Amino acid sequence: MAGVLDGVRVLDLSRLLPGPFATQLLCDLGAEVIKIEDPQGGDYLRWTPPLLDDGTSVLFHALNRGKQSVALDLKSDEGRAAFLRLCAGADVVVESFRPGVLDKLGLGPALLRARFPRLVICSISGFGQSGVLRHRAGHDVNYVARAGALSLMKTPALLPVQVADLAAGAWPAAMQICAALVGRARTGDGALIDVDMTAGVTGLLAMLLARVAVGERVDGGRDLLIGKVPCYDVYATADGHLAVGALEPKFWAAFCQALARPDLLDRGFDDDDGPAGARAIIRAQLQTKTTSAWMDVFSAVDCCVEPVLLPEQVYADCAGVDVSIEHHAPLKLPTLGLGIAGHTPSSSPAPPLGRDTDRLLG
**Active-site entry in 28, 165, 233, 270:** 165
Contact 190, 184 (CB under 8 A): yes
**Active-site entry in 73, 139, 343, 356:** 139
Torsion from C-alpha of 40, 44, 47, 49, nearest 10 degrees: 170
Query: How many beta carbons lie within 10 A of that of residue 201, not counting itself?
Result: 24
Report d(CA 277, CA 268) in Å as an integer: 10
Contact 68, 42 (CB under 8 A): no
Report d(CA 204, CA 340) in Å as an integer: 24
Determine the length of the chain. Answer: 362
Q: Is 139 a catalytic residue?
A: yes
Could you tell me which residues are beta bridge partners of residue 242?
A: 235, 307
Torsion from C-alpha of 93, 99, 101, 104, nearest 10 degrees: 100
Going from the C-alpha of 324 to that of each of 70, 316, 321, 338, 348, the distances in angstroms are 21, 18, 10, 21, 7
Q: Is 165 a catalytic residue?
A: yes
72 CB-near residues (< 8 Å, 6+ apart): 36, 37, 38, 39, 79, 82, 83, 357
- Residues tagged active-site: 139, 165
